[in-house]
A and B are shown apart, each in its own frame.
Chain A
């Protein structure tokens, strides 16, 4: 009895003298709740995409469809309903909470405005949400952000995101500021919430290890362009795009018996990025050819996925 929720983004070009997102198209399928990973290094545009989906930034080109409707054309009422269904958790649990109020503040506001069942008592809604993220209400209610640990704060942000019973939670690097032992817990929590609450996640990260742990589908971004989309297992086990391959071999494996043997060349390029014709990965690609410079490759179907590379 699940409604098909589909978020489909197509074709943005976002120019601020630096192209942050370049004609990106991808879709998160509805039906079964999944974790869709948007992976890329810093500067790849993934946070920009998150903000666009959350309607904090307007793209210069393109549309985003949520369940078939273009979110850019929403009026304020429709936007409010959209926000109920698409929530978010951010990277920094320290700055995401207003330091002058206890944590109940943002929970109450969300509950008051967005709780699904308007007849329920607000405190009940809050307590329920806290319990579902593994927090004991009596331990955190009334406390100020600085009195809680990073892990607790992040859980509170997750609890807040769950209150409106969203269909999609955009999680932008939710664990990168947490310690290793905490990461596992929060990631497990995400998987549990996906299964129990039926919420899909758009998990944005640069860490492919965590991506492979929680992800079902994955899209790899490189400097604003999608280079590979497919299932997480496919991509991790058999990366097709040269950039994906580079990423995979760069992940440090926590096993001293499996150390990096060869030295890979990592030519650095400066931070300045002008407009480039042709494939953006040309400079660093070990498999590049002359025609790669002429025009950027489009996404083409290779087996069960899409790769943007002339090799295929």
Chain B
């Protein structure tokens, strides 16, 4: 009955639960549709990257500002780069940033929220204060401030930066969950049945929190992509790489709209909208699953 037992038991119990959760996710039409749509976009991006020659993303590959044609499906930008290739690259990069920010934000936030809610007392007070500060501060402004101080950022650094503010909402949610779960009768009963504290947390409480953590993850993902776009449009993004925001920065800074160079500014915007919507649909689906689940029939 030692601590080493816990991971093994937790694994076997949760494998079954994992299987059940995945199947309930798959059954929900919104989740599958949204997820498939998003994944196909990624897949498509990879395909594009592989079909087009490597040089097409380099400066001077072709003539600048060519409108869409057979040869250049989305035309070229001011530096003569193949826009469709840049688009594919940026979709992938933005996704990476989103994932990094969402994973770190959700995990860190959940941990902080849980510790506060579970232990209560002074620890909770301090953590809650911390969380509330980050929650109420205008994150975009601070991110602008921070990124303007840093010279160059990589994709990963961008993800970490956004994670800095992405954790506070999950923290609050998970804290509320932990608080309410802690007092539930089945938790008391588990203690009476001899379960140790750690076992109770992972075996009894965790499965209740996972649905919310998943919803938080998707939320953070969407928010991260949009935040990155916002920062990059302002010129504060990872300039050396290509992300959707950076892809938008170029046309905006070259008066593309005024000049009617629609193939330059339209693709990233449409891509952003599409990605947003697919993820939003996934989020709707997850919310659907959570609600009837917690209200057991």
Contacts and interface: CB of A to CB of B under 8 A. Distances in A.
Interface of A: 54, 56, 80, 83-84, 87-88, 90, 92, 95-100, 106, 109-110, 113-114, 145-146, 157, 160
A268 B67 CA distance: 83
B137 interface: no
Nearest to B204: A98
Given A113-B1, A113-B195, A90 B188 contact: yes
B16 to A, nearest CB: 9
Contacts of B1: 113
Nearest to B1: A113
Nearest to A114: B194
Interface in B144-193: 184-186, 188-193
Interface string B188-207: 11111111000000001001
A90 B193 contact: no
Given A98-B204, A100-B208, A146-B297, A110 B186 contact: no
Contacts of A84: 194
Contacts of A160: 189, 193
Nearest to A108: B193
Contacts of A113: 1, 193-195
B296 interface: yes
Given A113-B1, A146-B296, A146-B297, A98 B192 contact: no
A2 to B, nearest CB: 24
B10 interface: no
A98 B186 contact: yes
B17 interface: yes
B187 to A, nearest CB: 8
A54 to B, nearest CB: 7
Contacts of B186: 95-98, 106
8 contacts: A84-B194, A90-B188, A95-B185, A96-B185, A99-B296, A109-B194, A113-B195, A146-B296
Contacts of A54: 188, 192
A83 B297 contact: no
Given A95-B184, A95-B185, A98-B186, A88 B194 contact: no
A106 B194 contact: no
Main secondary structure of the interface of B (DSSP, over half): helix
B156 to A, nearest CB: 36
A100 to B, nearest CB: 5
Contacts of B193: 106, 109-110, 113-114, 160
A109 B190 contact: yes
Nearest to B184: A95
B17 A87 contact: no
A98 B185 CA distance: 9
Q: Which of A56, A92, A98, A145 has the most CB of B within 10 A?
A: A98
A90 B185 contact: yes
User: Interface range on chain B: under 10, 10 to 19, 20 to 34, or 35 or more?
Assistant: 10 to 19
Q: In the complex, which of the residues A84, A87, A110, A157 has the most CB atoms of chain B within 10 Å of its own CB atom?
A: A110
A87 B185 contact: no
Interface string B264-297: 0000000000000000000000000000000011
Contact of A80 (B185, B194, B208): B194
A84 B192 CA distance: 8
A21 B37 CA distance: 60
B192 A87 contact: yes
Contacts of B192: 54, 83, 87-88
A106 B296 contact: no
B17 A100 contact: yes
A100 B1 CA distance: 23
B127 to A, nearest CB: 23
B199 to A, nearest CB: 8
B238 to A, nearest CB: 42
Contact of A90 (B189, B194, B296): B189
B30 to A, nearest CB: 22
Contacts of B208: 100
A185 to B, nearest CB: 22
A92 B195 contact: no
A50 to B, nearest CB: 10
A113 B191 CA distance: 11
A98 to B, nearest CB: 4
Q: Can you list the 7 inter-chain pairs with the closest CB atoms, starting with the nearest?
A: A113-B194, A110-B193, A96-B185, A98-B186, A99-B296, A146-B296, A95-B185
Given A100-B207, A146-B297, A110 B194 contact: yes
Contacts of B190: 98, 106, 109
Among A92, A99, A110, A145, the one with the most B-chain Cβ atoms within 10 Å of its Cβ is A99
A88 B191 CA distance: 11
A106 B190 CA distance: 7
Interface in B87-146: none
Q: In the complex, which of the residues B1, B189, B191, B297 has the most CB atoms of chain A within 10 Å of its own CB atom? A: B189
Nearest to A157: B189
Nearest to A107: B193
B173 to A, nearest CB: 19
A232 B296 CA distance: 40
